[in-house]
């Protein structure tokens, strides 16, 4: 029996986690929880594409799904919340990969999660407004109801100079050109969801049904297209000026959690970990968590102040040796390293292949 | 109002941030219409500011919420009487779509109104035929599918449970109907889409919970079916009133299986904490010495400890917080009494609904009498007890076109949305 798409996704992710993290860390990953732990894990286990891939999933839903897979002998319970793949699970996943790719090519939750929902809200409302403008319909009910989004679209239209026909045709051509950059993309997945003057867009469930696609798969494919659009139009802003203008301050890096942001500012002003801990009245370990998060985001953040170069090298070697990301195991090899130092080095080097 | 061009309107509610609130309060005199939620009437600074102003008309919408006898009683509405006297008893307009005589008397009393004019419009809608059908528990599902297949839509089917609404909608789709479920558990975007698809005619049937319908103005709804009985006649009337707004003939059908009221009782009980939960709530708060004013900060603790549903927790927390200055034991006693009274009230409502279902005479007259109106005109297609027979309302429906393989041309679709010429169109024109 073939496995479902949902099962394939969960098998894939749990395989990456190697039983070293609980299924709730998976839940946090799918939700896109902005905690240092979740962000570090996403990098460490190469699961960044799935960051915030299923923002609406519930804890219970995921637990039930995993329980079902355990009953089907795809998963083995190591402890209460730790699961690993059974040999059947591993085999089925292997078979699945012969015919399918996972994750979808452009899915990159970590890079785009903070823009994804916003981009879709803006694109869908802009298409609806343009459609009603060119067909000269005066009143309609907006498909997005957030005040910010509606204010944005009003201001946006006002700023544009090309008139209603011009705006629509620019939008049409840019979308067309962008979609045609990659033939593996099926634009129907997105176009079905759009609302025009005389038709209301489909819900994701309806679009999946119409395309005969598993709903989980549809959700990821939809994100895949959005990430493809966001990536393409921000990389080639000159080619896609209109679509690029939907992205707020395109170059803005992923924002830190608020608390990390404060720590970051203090670090930049030259304060030490101890000082920041005292100023902010936070535990030292919390500040260290922030520093790990910063190291994940800012590729040229200098670690030397926190880990001596030679220790960094030894930690990396230890990590390769154990091929596990269990801090405890690594520490057996690099005895003089603290957990903080290990995590920091792994955070920086998480994207490298270990073996 | 703003959309219609009246810019001097402002809303004062709990959604405003403290800064926004301050700003609105400062410039309050510049507005002509102030919309204020009853909850805000408890805020001292708001009351003070408003009492300085000259208010020429106080309008109370959904005024039935003020009455303990109303199905939708909201304790905050009781503050309105005091509020009105603070404003110097201005001219007052109380509006409601569903109020019995008892409730109307309560509104007058609570608002402290003296010289009053009542404008009462009949709740009767002669264009809507009313039917109650009894069906065994097993047959009900079959019956609702049969009705959906033979009645001319568009139609709404109401359910008490989200799950049931989803299930029946999926079955209807399986039979080729354009049906979707609508309930409070959907994401915001999907709610808007489904509602708009229905209004736009892309959907023929919505399987809904009571979350659906408010603010929807669709004129040509031909039928409203109730799969479960509503908790009171007032909501029933509101829900069936969504049919036939264009004045054309429509039908309301309520399906009843013996024992359905048990589900209603359960639902009513689930909205309020029971005595056991109240006991646990107060004893654990005492044990952990959590003060009554801090109750809201311990949602997880109490929800887990007392097994609250979301609604139960919200009620309990609000009830306690608004009385946090009183003694522990007094609040507990008040809460216990309040819950007992409300539950009794809700049970009475359910029994009235049941009476309606079992009433052997004219259903329309029953409803009208309930709202204190004399019996009706008895339209030709009145109700299931006035010789309304199935053929009279079973319009032959146009057969559902078989869903053939549809090739979806996204380019053409996108071009049509944005009124552009796609390549496919160009080719066709050349040929």
If one compares B18 and A175, the residue with the highest pLDDT of the two is A175
By Cβ distance, the residue of A187, A206, A209 closest to B410 is A187
CA B61/CA B11 separation, integer angstroms: 14
Distance from CA of A127 to the nearest CA of B (A): 7
**How high is the pLDDT of residue B398?**
64
Buried-exposed string B135-165: b where 16+ CB fall within 10 A, e elsewhere? eeeeebbebbbebbeebbbbbbbbbbebebb
Query: Across the interface, do A188 and B408 touch by the CB < 8 Å criterion?
Result: yes
Enumerate the domain spans of chain B: 9-111, 128-264+351-393, 277-348
Confidence of residue A355 (pLDDT cuts 50, 70, 90): very low
Beta strand residue intervals within B115-195, DSSP E:
128-134, 155-158, 179-182
Best of A57, A59, A162, A191 to disrupt the B interface (most B CBs within 10 Å) is A191
Residue found by looking up tokens 């749990």 in the block: A14
**Average pLDDT, stretch A3-22?**
92
Residues of A in contact with B194 (CB under 8 A): 203
Crossing angle between the packed helical segments A23-31 and A59-71, to the nearest 10 degrees:
130
Query: Across the interface, do B417 and A200 touch by the CB < 8 Å criterion?
Result: no
Q: What is the mean pLDDT of chain A?
A: 87
By Cβ distance, the residue of B197, B408, B415 closest to A200 is B197
pLDDT tens track for A86-96: 999 999 999 98
The CATH number that domain B9-111 falls under is: 3.40.50.300
CA B241/CA B230 separation, integer angstroms: 14
Interface residues of chain B, partner chain A, Cβ below 8 Å: 173, 180, 187-190, 192-194, 196-197, 199-200, 202, 406, 408, 410-411, 413-420
Q: Which chain B residue is nearest to residue A189, measuring alpha carbons?
A: B410
Buried-exposed string B397-406: b where 16+ CB fall within 10 A, e elsewhere? eeeeeeeeee
pLDDT tens track for A45-94: 999 999 999 998 888 899 999 999 999 999 999 888 899 999 999 999 99
Residues of A in contact with B187 (CB under 8 A): 56
In chain A, what are the domains? 5-99 (1.10.10), 109-244 (no CATH), 258-349 (1.10.10.1390)
Residues of A in contact with B13 (CB under 8 A): none
Confidence of residue A295 (pLDDT cuts 50, 70, 90): confident
Query: Across the interface, do B189 and A130 touch by the CB < 8 Å criterion?
Result: no
**How high is the pLDDT of residue B431?**
46
Distance from CA of A54 to the nearest CA of B (A): 13
Best of A121, A123, A174, A206 to disrupt the B interface (most B CBs within 10 Å) is A206
Asked if B280 contacts B308 with a C-beta cutoff of 8 angstroms, the reply is: no
The C-alpha angle A329, A335, A338, rounded to 5 degrees, equals: 85
Best of B179, B204, B410 to disrupt the A interface (most A CBs within 10 Å) is B410
CA atoms within a 13 Å half-sphere pointing along the CA-CB vector of B193: 24
> Which of A118-122, A144-148, A155-159, B277-281 is least confident?
A144-148
Residues of B in contact with A218 (CB under 8 A): none
**How high is the pLDDT of residue B173?**
93
> Which of A215-224, A238-247, A341-350, B189-198 is least confident?
A341-350
Residues of B in contact with A132 (CB under 8 A): none
CA A178/CA A176 separation, integer angstroms: 5
Give chain B's residues under pLDDT 70: 2-5, 14-15, 17, 69-72, 215, 376-377, 389-406, 422-431
CA A30/CA A49 separation, integer angstroms: 10
Query: Across the interface, do A200 and B413 touch by the CB < 8 Å criterion?
Result: no
> Which of A96-100, A154-158, B14-18 is least confident?
B14-18
**How high is the pLDDT of residue B359?**
94
If one compares B392 and A302, the residue with the highest pLDDT of the two is A302
Looking at the domain B128-264+351-393, which fold is it?
A: Rossmann fold (3.40.50)
Residues of A in contact with B190 (CB under 8 A): 203-205
Residues of A in contact with B418 (CB under 8 A): 127, 130-131, 134, 168-169, 171-172, 196
Cα A189 to Cα A14, A144, A199, A203, B200: the distances in Å are: 28, 19, 16, 11, 22
What's A324's DSSP letter? Answer: S
A306 has pLDDT over 90: no
Confidence of residue A250 (pLDDT cuts 50, 70, 90): very low
A208 has pLDDT over 80: yes
A252 has pLDDT over 60: no
Domain B128-264+351-393 in the same topology as domain B9-111: yes
Asked if A140 contacts A128 with a C-beta cutoff of 8 angstroms, the reply is: yes
């Amino acid at each position: 029996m073939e496995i479902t798409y949902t099962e394939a996704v969960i098998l894939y992710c749990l395989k990456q986690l190697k039983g070293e993290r609980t299924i709730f860390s998976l839940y946090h990953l799918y939700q896109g929880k902005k905690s240092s732990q979740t962000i570090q894990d996403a990098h460490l286990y190469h699961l960044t594409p799935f960051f915030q891939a299923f923002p609406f999933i519930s804890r219970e839903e995921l637990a039930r799904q995993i329980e079902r897979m355990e009953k089907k002998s795809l998963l083995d319970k190591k402890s209460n919340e730790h699961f690993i793949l059974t040999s059947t699970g591993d085999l089925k996943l292997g078979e699945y990969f012969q015919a399918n790719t996972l994750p979808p090519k452009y899915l990159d939750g970590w890079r785009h999660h903070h823009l994804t929902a916003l981009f879709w809200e803006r694109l869908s409302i802009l298409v609806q407004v343009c459609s009603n403008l060119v067909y000269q319909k005066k009143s309609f009910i907006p498909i997005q109801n957030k005040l910010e989004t509606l204010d944005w679209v009003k201001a946006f239209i006002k700023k544009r100079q090309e008139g209603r026909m011009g705006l629509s045709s620019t939008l049409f051509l840019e979308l067309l050109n962008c979609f045609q950059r990659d033939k593996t993309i099926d634009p129907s997945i997105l176009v079905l969801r759009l609302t025009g003057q005389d038709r209301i867009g489909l819900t994701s469930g309806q679009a999946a049904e119409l395309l005969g696609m598993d709903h989980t798969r549809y959700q990821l494919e939809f994100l895949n297209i959005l990430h493809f659009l966001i990536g393409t139009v921000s990389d080639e802003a000159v080619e896609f000026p209109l679509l690029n203008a939907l992205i707020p301050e395109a170059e803005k890096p992923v924002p830190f959690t608020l608390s990390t942001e404060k720590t970051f500012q203090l670090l930049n002003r030259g304060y030490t970990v101890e000082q920041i801990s005292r100023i902010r009245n936070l535990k030292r370990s919390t500040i260290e968590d922030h520093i790990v998060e910063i190291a994940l985001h800012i590729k040229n953040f200098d670690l030397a102040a926190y880990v001596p170069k030679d220790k960094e090298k030894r930690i990396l070697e230890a990590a390769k040796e154990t091929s596990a990301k269990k801090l405890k195991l690594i520490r057996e090899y690099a005895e003089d390293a603290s957990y903080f130092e290990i995590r920091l080095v792994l955070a920086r080097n998480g994207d490298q292949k270990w073996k | 109002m703003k959309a219609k061009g009246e810019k001097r309107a402002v809303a004062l509610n709990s959604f405003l941030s403290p800064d926004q609130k301050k700003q609105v309060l400062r410039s309050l005199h510049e507005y002509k219409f102030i919309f204020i939620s009853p909850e805000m009437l408890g805020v001292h600074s708001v009351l003070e500011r408003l009492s300085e102003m000259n208010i020429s008309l106080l309008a109370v919408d959904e005024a039935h919420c003020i009455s303990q006898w109303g199905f939708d009683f909201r304790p905050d509405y009781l503050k309105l009487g005091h509020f009105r006297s603070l404003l110097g008893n201005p001219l007052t307009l109380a509006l409601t779509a569903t109020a019995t005589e008892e409730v109307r008397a309560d509104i007058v009393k609570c608002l402290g109104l003296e010289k009053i004019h009542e404008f009462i419009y009949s709740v009767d809608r002669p264009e809507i035929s009313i039917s109650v059908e009894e069906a065994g528990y097993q047959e009900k599902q079959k019956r609702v599918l049969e009705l959906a297949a033979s009645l001319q839509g568009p139609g709404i089917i109401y359910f008490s449970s989200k799950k049931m609404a989803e299930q029946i909608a999926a079955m209807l789709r399986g039979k080729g109907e354009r049906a979707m479920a609508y309930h409070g558990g959907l994401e915001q975007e999907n709610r808007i889409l489904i509602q708009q698809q229905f209004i736009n005619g892309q959907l023929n049937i919505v399987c809904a919970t009571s979350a659906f319908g408010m603010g929807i103005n669709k004129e040509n709804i031909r039928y409203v079916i109730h799969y479960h009985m509503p908790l009171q006649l007032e909501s029933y009337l509101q829900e069936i009133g969504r049919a036939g707004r264009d004045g054309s003939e429509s039908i309301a059908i309520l399906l009843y299986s013996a024992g359905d009221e048990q589900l209603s009782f359960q639902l009513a009980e689930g909205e309020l904490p029971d005595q056991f939960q109240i006991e646990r709530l107060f004893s654990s708060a005492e044990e952990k010495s959590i003060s009554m004013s801090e109750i809201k900060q311990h949602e997880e603790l109490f929800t887990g400890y007392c097994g609250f549903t979301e609604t139960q927790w919200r009620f309990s927390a609000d009830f306690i917080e608004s009385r946090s200055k009183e003694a522990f034991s007094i609040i507990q006693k008040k809460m216990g009494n309040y819950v007992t009274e409300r539950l009794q009230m809700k049970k009475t409502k359910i029994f009235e609904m049941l009476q309606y279902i079992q009433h052997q005479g004219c259903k329309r007259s029953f409803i009208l009498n309930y709202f204190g109106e004399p019996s009706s005109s008895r339209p030709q297609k009145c109700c299931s007890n006035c010789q309304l027979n199935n053929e009279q309302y079973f319009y032959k429906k146009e057969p559902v076109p078989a869903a053939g393989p549809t090739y979806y041309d996204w380019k053409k679709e996108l071009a049509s949305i944005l009124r552009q010429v796609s390549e496919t169109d160009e080719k066709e024109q050349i040929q």
